[in-house]
């Protein structure tokens, strides 16, 4: 089905074409007509399935084809997202999809100066993307006026609940006009999410893509069983393969992330880190360097990496196995986004076996075990093999064969034309030194008990 059949206006289908999208993803085909018809919608879709466009496009259509209530100025659509980087990313998509319609969009999030955000609100923005904390603060100080709200979106609602935002969300939603359209998106449909929808949505229509809580179907997943003391060496060993060309490594702790990054840098691999102990500027810089390809490896903690959309991540490495299956699903969703197909590699120590089994039950499939044939898994102390990166082959459409080192940052321009290209206007990756985020990261310690190919031109079977 082409985009033109979904009921979107020509200004939007034009923007979508310019973004390189040739056809809607399943969540878009199902959700867009429903949202256009004014229904409340619950969208259950795995990360990277195009859910932002699924709500942003119909909202832009609705707002651009009729005036505000009583012709007054004010916020007409509110999108609430759990993290600053997701909020900025959403704003970027909204701006890009809305480039041919006359609507203005602002982003409200904490950790940065508030004056530009207040000024933006005063200048009259039709669409606001916000994280709950700063939005609530502005509400309490009378800086936002919700009287003109027509549509509210709760994005990554499951994550907002995990982050303890439920009381904030309640206060925000209760302050909205009763007569509104409400859309809720979540990667998983838990009992808590069902309760939330019953509270905030009216006769919602459920749009569900794929099975519940299932990782992205297109990501090839592997497990390496390895003693804890050999994990860094195994990572270095795997990184000899140049196919691992844009690698997101997940560490359970901030300290662990720094340690891994240090070891990689010592071995000549350009690495950046992303966690809540880094300053805002450092985090932005790390994400930019990774996105541009100046660094090959980004070592991150779960919370800091939440929601980031980096085009062309070739591999996700679970250096520390995630204690919660939901986190595994989110982590591996960082690769295999849009039309790319990526690999997810997990290191599993003897301590992780119970967690791995629980995950396999959760995703209802076994994850193939891999063994690096020429790697020494024995635990005896051994020096790290000196590792020096060979020159990297030039990417298609690029001039040179840049050499990556830890000191200098050669430019490797990532990005390829076409469907998987993300809009590139506003800065993204303003990362969140929220105290809540830090607390969550600190809580990501190993828990003994829990509740619970590479990038290629292969097309993602939406």
Residues that bind ligand AMP (CB under 6 A): 21, 24-25, 28, 48-53, 309, 337-339, 419-420, 422
HSE at residue 308, side-chain half, CA atoms within 13 A, is 32
Distances (CA, A) of 434 to 22, 110, 170, 257: 38, 8, 20, 18
Q: Is 286 exposed, middle or buried (0-12, 13-18, 19+ CB in 10 A)?
A: buried
Tokens of 454: 């590479």
DSSP 8-state code for residue 3: G
Task: Compute the C-alpha angle 244/249/255, nearest 5°.
Answer: 145
Positive or negative, the Cα torsion across 295, 296, 300, 304?
positive
Nearer to ligand AMP, 52 or 273 (CB): 52
Distance CA(35)–CA(340), nearest Å, equals 27
Nearer to ligand AMP, 339 or 455 (CB): 339
Nearer to ligand AMP, 230 or 460 (CB): 460
Nearer to ligand AMP, 159 or 337 (CB): 337
Min dist CB 89 to ligand AMP, Å, is: 7
Min dist CB 93 to ligand AMP, Å, is: 7
Min dist CB 181 to ligand AMP, Å, is: 19
Min dist CB 456 to ligand AMP, Å, is: 16
Min dist CB 48 to ligand AMP, Å, is: 5
Nearer to ligand AMP, 276 or 428 (CB): 428
Nearer to ligand AMP, 89 or 318 (CB): 89
Nearer to ligand AMP, 290 or 321 (CB): 290
Nearer to ligand AMP, 339 or 416 (CB): 339
Distance CA(338)–CA(341), nearest Å, equals 8
Min dist CB 460 to ligand AMP, Å, is: 8
Min dist CB 77 to ligand AMP, Å, is: 16
Listing DSSP states for 150-206 in one string gives -EEEETTHHHHHHTT-HHHHHHHHHTS-SS-EEEEEESS--HHHHHHHHHH-SSPEE
Distances (CA, A) of 276 to 106, 111, 156, 257: 24, 11, 20, 11
Nearer to ligand AMP, 136 or 187 (CB): 187
Positive or negative, the Cα torsion across 235, 236, 237, 242?
positive
**Phi and psi, residue 442, nearest 5°:** -65, -30
Residue for token pair 């828990």:
447
HSE at residue 461, side-chain half, CA atoms within 13 A, is 4
Min dist CB 342 to ligand AMP, Å, is: 13
Min dist CB 345 to ligand AMP, Å, is: 21
């Amino acid at each position: 089905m082409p985009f033109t059949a979904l009921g979107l206006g020509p200004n939007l289908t034009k923007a979508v074409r310019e973004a390189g999208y040739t056809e809607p993803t399943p969540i878009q085909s199902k959700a867009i007509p429903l949202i256009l018809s004014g229904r409340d919608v619950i969208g259950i879709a795995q990360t990277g399935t195009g859910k932002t466009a699924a709500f942003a496009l119909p909202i832009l259509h609705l707002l651009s084809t009729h005036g505000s209530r009583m012709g007054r100025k004010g916020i007409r659509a509110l999108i609430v997202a759990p993290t600053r980087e997701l909020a900025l990313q959403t704003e970027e998509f909204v701006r890009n999809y809305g480039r041919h319609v006359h609507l203005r969009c602002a982003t409200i999030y904490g950790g940065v100066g508030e004056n530009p955000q207040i000024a933006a609100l005063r200048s009259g923005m039709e669409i606001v993307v916000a994280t709950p904390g700063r939005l609530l603060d502005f509400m309490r100080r009378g800086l936002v006026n919700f009287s003109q709200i027509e549509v509210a979106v709760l994005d990554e609602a499951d994550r907002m609940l995990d982050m303890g935002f439920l009381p904030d969300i309640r206060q925000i939603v209760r302050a909205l006009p009763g007569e509104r359209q409400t859309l809720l998106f979540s990667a998983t449909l838990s009992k808590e999410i069902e309760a939330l929808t019953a509270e905030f949505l009216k006769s919602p229509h459920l749009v569900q893509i794929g099975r519940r809580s299932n990782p992205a179907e297109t990501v090839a997943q592997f497990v390496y069983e390895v003693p804890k003391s050999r994990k860094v060496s195994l990572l270095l060993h795997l990184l000899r393969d140049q196919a691992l060309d844009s690698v997101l490594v997940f560490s359970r702790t901030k300290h662990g992330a720094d340690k891994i990054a240090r070891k990689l840098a010592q071995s000549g691999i350009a690495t950046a880190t992303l966690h809540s102990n880094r300053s805002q500027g450092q985090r932005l810089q790390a994400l930019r360097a990774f996105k541009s390809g100046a660094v090959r490896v980004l070592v991150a903690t779960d919370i800091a990496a939440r929601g980031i959309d980096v085009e062309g991540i070739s591999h996700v490495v679970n250096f520390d196995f995630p204690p919660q299956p939901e986190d595994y699903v989110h982590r591996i969703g960082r690769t295999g986004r849009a039309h790319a197909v990526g690999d997810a590699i997990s290191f599993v120590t003897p301590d992780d076996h119970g967690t791995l089994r629980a995950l396999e039950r959760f995703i209802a499939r076994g994850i193939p075990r891999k063994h690096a044939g020429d790697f020494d898994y024995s635990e005896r102390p051994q020096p790290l093999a000196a590792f020096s990166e060979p020159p990297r082959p030039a990417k298609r459409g690029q001039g040179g064969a840049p050499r990556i080192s830890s000191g200098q940052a050669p430019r490797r321009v990532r990005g390829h034309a076409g469907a998987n290209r993300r809009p590139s206007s506003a800065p993204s990756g303003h990362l969140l030194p929220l105290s809540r985020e830090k607390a969550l990261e600190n809580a990501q310690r190993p828990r003994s008990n829990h509740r619970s190919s590479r990038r290629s031109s292969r097309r993602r079977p939406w």
